[in-house]
Structure 1
């Protein structure tokens, strides 16, 4: 492969990864700006993209559209050192004048920061771009408009109502801009916000988005992006001086993990809220180049950003010229309750690399392969993720044992976006209403007579179990957690900002789960302790596949072997052990019982539960909730460049109370030390 080969803004050839020229990046940005102009109000104060009105109303939608599109104009013109042949900044300058004019038509005027909290988010984009383009926009605004901008942004000072999460950076950025233009600002506010940011810092450059265990794309596209861009603002030099090196080092370390989460087809990990921002997931790779991190080649950072953005442009995104609420296609259910038709335009953060001018070495750096192209087996300590990425099909999978958008010991429901046991770059967690109250895919649950399925949010992270593999060098990664499984009767009113459902909680038992990943396979070991009398079954759900026209619901069912396993041998249950194999859209998902305790298997089907297709299917294993260890093998594979990829034969297992011996199909053997189980009657959260 010619690693410097450049592709057009379409699907690349099968044997050549996308690696656009800077001109191609500019054209994507310019095309988005031209489209935005079609949906602007007459004086350009608002940009409102097509679609149903958002949860915060038409006025907020229009401000979001302006501010988030303004970002890409700022990146484009600042990176071109003021060159702006299509006059984008002049066009936006008219919008700034109209939006801040108190006497403007109501369809032009911006929602004020003291009128609606969402304006505080958008104010940061406005301030950031006004700073980035200072010589070509701000300095050319007349004094009256400049004064109105300062007045518009000033309510940020002393405002303590900002949510305790990534929003802190909106106040920091706005106040830093105000400081640089002689407006009001508070050193105490900025010190307080920076201290709050530091309180979210976790191991290896990771951060939580607030006080809960909310690990998601906000780590990269907010909590690392803003410190890097803020330090370069006109009013930040002395404020950021003692932080720059520390922030760069944290970003550098985070990128070692983040690069491993990009799929071979460019898909970002499909996990966490705000997925409608799509290629905003490219932002941290560009930020690494902007910050000049020392450990990652420019050609790899650019390749990762390019792959993520091309994943969507190759699939016709933006479709009809604008971004919709969805993934590959519009799917409104993917949005949060507050999202509107302009919300997806935080995707423009993925074009932040345009800040790097044409003579920056990133644009001449030869492409460096992504981690998944070599294969990945990696443990990430902060979210307790075990990562396995396979080069032959380009799929990255994680086993999740520490992210749930909740606090330790919380009595809440499992968010499908955060608390599932597995996520990948090729599958979507099911997001229909039932999946929020009854976990199915990538879940291990206890089921009662009413069909209620337990939740695991609030689980405790366990140390990754020790694994010895023969021969040495075979890529195996482990992770583990322990949950006080609980049933939830949901409250009538729910707030849907990413967390799981709230309601009345009843204890169901203790589930300890261990994941052992190698290639496409995960061996999942589950220990049941002290099951409640109401618990009638243990169930384990596999990877969800989705398709259209019956693909995932009927044609995809390759095989279902149900019923109790035959006589066990030294390596596990007999050949008739329950199993499910599914195939859809070039993906294959398999689920195999590995011990004789499983007594059945089935396929669950859901409609309108995934943005990847109208019909979804999940394999499920069932067992009596007997105390002790249960085990299953789970596989997810895709189609590689040379045709279909299959997971091969499932591994076989020998279990004792202290060890699991896994015999992989290729003859490699892994012995895993199992976690110690607390003695019966020990204090657990559910009976504390």
Structure 2
């Protein structure tokens, strides 16, 4: 079943109503392939591909532990029936993995920190499949499993991020089987989790401004699954109801961030986990959240997974590679290996629900973007959101997430600090993209071509203004624009580059989103002493389109790019902007050629400029002369009247950014 809207060009060529048998068949295909790459003792699974940054041994552990997650879902959902061979395979792998003398034993937790991540999957599934795997292990192996997991107790080296749940899950399992555990460790980790909770059910992945798919597939998923582990209710202290309330509120936004073609936002790190983004929708069904119908949760999960299968991920060999639709190694973190993409199986969590669970019988319900234009904000992340039914695309304007600590002057991570992300485009993510903000940026560019960065920006405003068809989502930020000379880094975990910083000035940006358009208002508030405005240009970058071939056009104050039926446009509507297109090669996971429409302005401190940025399908793109905007200064605020390309006029009063932000130099 699809939900194509009659008479539209929405990107919805995806079957989004699989039966449970079809889900099972897909899971079995992945599992059968994984087993074919197992080591002789089944303790490791080595998928084909270049060795990861953490080495061959870690790669093998990842391959086992992450596919063990899927095996656990499969066995639990079948209540063990018909899965005996699968359980035997992974049970043998556990015996080998914890045998200290086995050639294909698991990397221990005290040998490499990555084992702490994989240990959580092992513990979670051992609990979930207790009657079929754990209870059938011999006493020696059970003790070896306990010994293998025991180093988590009292370990204070876990990052203060979603990793907290790895320690909680493992210690909860250890407690349930008579192993060592620490009540203080669990209490400390739950307190840390609560300190990361933000507005409207959103959770930051650590104390940096990190809002990405980890919010759903980790920070909301683990609390629900943990609460169902044996003995967890004795540890939860009545917190589960609150966790579910936050999950429910988060899911109201999460279902609206899925494109009509099933694509999640291409934003944040670990995008090679692909359809793991479906996990929170299944968790909502497990937790029985009250506000999002079961049929919509299943539809959202199904749409995400089907999006990737429709784009040949996995391919004919049924192996998940490091990439998005196809293999593109630069999308992965530097430490990722061939087994890393198999955290995608979190998106198949639904098969742990038995055939008689009501989620399978619920009538499928359309996503918000399929039923009408959707305008909203995500306050915690500083996102203005616009989803449009005509083209099925969801876009965000980002003014609060940069994966950086408050006040830290670092490079802009292309995965976090760009102004715009969508379900139809990707940020440029090659090595050069970490050093050069281009697409979806506002940058001061000097005579040498160096572009400034904006992390860590300060959020100024995030809200919805207006009523009905005149609703506008607004987000704004102010930043200390700075150039950065990068220092070498061994590993990249999603944060921007560090290096020597040279301050340029203070820049304020307001994004007004409505339909497929953003009006981006920009002002250079001030320049640093000795920085010459005449030697700079202010460059505003639009959406990057990437494919096998992209057509770029520029004329006077407008530029555009067209590829695979998509259109990216940019148009100067206030200020002396000159349009052009920038071409990059092998810079995007979506194709070998990328084009970014840009407009470049002279730098005039304290003067507003305005740029129209558009993303839609080619047949719905606006004529370049179809819009106008006026900006009027008042004593304390700026009043902005916009005539949008469809003729609708809106007037908004913008927030005052206040004094220039302090920065850690």
Q: Which TM-score applies when normalising by structure 1?
A: 0.92
CA–CA distance in structure 1, aligned partners of residues 599 and 158 of structure 2:
45
* Residue 312 (structure 2) aligned to one of 310, 313, 316: 316
Contact 1:654 1:660 in 2 (8 A): yes
Alignment match, 1:174: 170
Contact 2:425 2:543 in 1 (8 A): yes
Which whole-Å deviations, capped at 9, do the CAs of 1:367-390 have from their partners, x for residues lacking one? Answer: 111011022111110001011011
Which whole-Å deviations, capped at 9, do the CAs of 1:464-508 have from their partners, x for residues lacking one? Answer: 367446xx5433211111111111111133541100010111111
Alignment match, 2:598: 620
User: Measured at CA, do residues 126 and 14 of structure 1 come closer, stay the same or move farther in structure 2, by a change above 3 Å?
Assistant: closer
Deviation at 1:215, TM superposition (A): 0.4
| Residue 665 (structure 2) pairs with residue 668 (structure 1) | no
Count of equivalent residues: 648
| Residue 555 (structure 2) pairs with residue 561 (structure 1) | yes
User: Measured at CA, do residues 519 and 685 of structure 1 come closer, stay the same or move farther in structure 2, by a change above 3 Å?
Assistant: same
* Residue 604 (structure 1) aligned to one of 563, 568, 582: 582
Contact 1:588 1:636 in 2 (8 A): yes
SS at match of 1:229: helix
CA–CA distance in structure 1, aligned partners of residues 74 and 464 of structure 2:
49
* Residue 340 (structure 1) aligned to one of 326, 337, 340: 337
Deviation at 1:668, TM superposition (A): 1.5
Q: Which blocks of at least 5 consecutive residues in structure 1 are unaligned?
A: 4-11, 563-577
CA–CA distance in structure 2, aligned partners of residues 290 and 522 of structure 1:
37
Deviation at 1:47, TM superposition (A): 0.4
User: Measured at CA, do residues 169 and 684 of structure 1 come closer, stay the same or move farther in structure 2, by a change above 3 Å?
Assistant: closer
* Residue 137 (structure 1) aligned to one of 118, 133, 137: 133
CA–CA distance in structure 1, aligned partners of residues 2 and 326 of structure 2:
32
Alignment match, 1:201: 197
Alignment match, 2:662: 685
Alignment match, 2:631: 655
Alignment match, 2:445: 447
Deviation at 1:531, TM superposition (A): 2.2
SS at match of 2:574: coil
CA–CA distance in structure 2, aligned partners of residues 194 and 464 of structure 1:
29
The 5 Å alignment of 1:381-530 reads 381-464=379-462, 467-468=465-466, 472-493=468-489, 495-530=491-526
CA–CA distance in structure 1, aligned partners of residues 663 and 278 of structure 2:
41
CA–CA distance in structure 2, aligned partners of residues 215 and 684 of structure 1:
21
Alignment match, 1:111: 107
Contact 1:494 1:502 in 2 (8 A): no
Which whole-Å deviations, capped at 9, do the CAs of 1:209-239 have from their partners, x for residues lacking one? Answer: 0110010000000000000000000021111
Deviation at 1:356, TM superposition (A): 1.0
CA–CA distance in structure 2, aligned partners of residues 95 and 617 of structure 1:
48
SS at match of 1:580: strand
CA–CA distance in structure 1, aligned partners of residues 664 and 109 of structure 2:
46
| Residue 248 (structure 2) pairs with residue 270 (structure 1) | no
Alignment match, 1:101: 99
Q: Which TM-score applies when normalising by structure 2?
A: 0.95
CA–CA distance in structure 1, aligned partners of residues 95 and 283 of structure 2:
31
CA–CA distance in structure 1, aligned partners of residues 14 and 108 of structure 2:
48
User: Measured at CA, do residues 244 and 161 of structure 1 come closer, stay the same or move farther in structure 2, by a change above 3 Å?
Assistant: same
User: Measured at CA, do residues 13 and 450 of structure 1 come closer, stay the same or move farther in structure 2, by a change above 3 Å?
Assistant: closer
CA–CA distance in structure 2, aligned partners of residues 355 and 137 of structure 1:
15
Contact 2:470 2:650 in 1 (8 A): no
CA–CA distance in structure 1, aligned partners of residues 483 and 292 of structure 2:
45
CA–CA distance in structure 1, aligned partners of residues 488 and 80 of structure 2:
54
Contact 1:271 1:423 in 2 (8 A): yes
Deviation at 1:677, TM superposition (A): 5.4
CA–CA distance in structure 2, aligned partners of residues 368 and 648 of structure 1:
35
Which whole-Å deviations, capped at 9, do the CAs of 1:424-447 have from their partners, x for residues lacking one? Answer: 001110112221111000000111
Q: Which blocks of at least 5 consecutive residues in structure 2 are unaligned?
A: 4-9
User: Measured at CA, do residues 432 and 297 of structure 1 come closer, stay the same or move farther in structure 2, by a change above 3 Å?
Assistant: same
The 5 Å alignment of 1:586-597 reads 586-597=565-576
SS at match of 1:656: strand
Deviation at 1:676, TM superposition (A): 2.7
* Residue 155 (structure 2) aligned to one of 146, 150, 159: 159
SS at match of 1:530: strand
| Residue 628 (structure 2) pairs with residue 634 (structure 1) | no
Deviation at 1:241, TM superposition (A): 4.2
Which whole-Å deviations, capped at 9, do the CAs of 1:36-76 have from their partners, x for residues lacking one? Answer: 11100011000010000000000000000000000001001
User: Measured at CA, do residues 494 and 96 of structure 1 come closer, stay the same or move farther in structure 2, by a change above 3 Å?
Assistant: closer
Deviation at 1:103, TM superposition (A): 1.4
SS at match of 2:40: coil
Contact 1:44 1:98 in 2 (8 A): yes
Deviation at 1:96, TM superposition (A): 0.3
CA–CA distance in structure 2, aligned partners of residues 686 and 343 of structure 1:
36
Alignment match, 2:7: none
SS at match of 1:685: coil
CA–CA distance in structure 1, aligned partners of residues 660 and 109 of structure 2:
48
CA–CA distance in structure 1, aligned partners of residues 584 and 507 of structure 2:
26
Deviation at 1:674, TM superposition (A): 2.7
Alignment match, 1:330: 327
Alignment match, 2:563: 584
Deviation at 1:529, TM superposition (A): 1.2
User: Measured at CA, do residues 589 and 95 of structure 1 come closer, stay the same or move farther in structure 2, by a change above 3 Å?
Assistant: same
SS at match of 1:324: coil
CA–CA distance in structure 2, aligned partners of residues 333 and 587 of structure 1:
24
Deviation at 1:648, TM superposition (A): 5.0
CA–CA distance in structure 2, aligned partners of residues 597 and 152 of structure 1:
65
User: Measured at CA, do residues 204 and 484 of structure 1 come closer, stay the same or move farther in structure 2, by a change above 3 Å?
Assistant: same
Q: CA RMSD in A?
A: 1.9
Deviation at 1:269, TM superposition (A): 0.4
Which whole-Å deviations, capped at 9, do the CAs of 1:604-648 have from their partners, x for residues lacking one? Answer: 111110011101010111111102111000000126xxxx33245
The 5 Å alignment of 1:253-264 reads 253-264=249-260
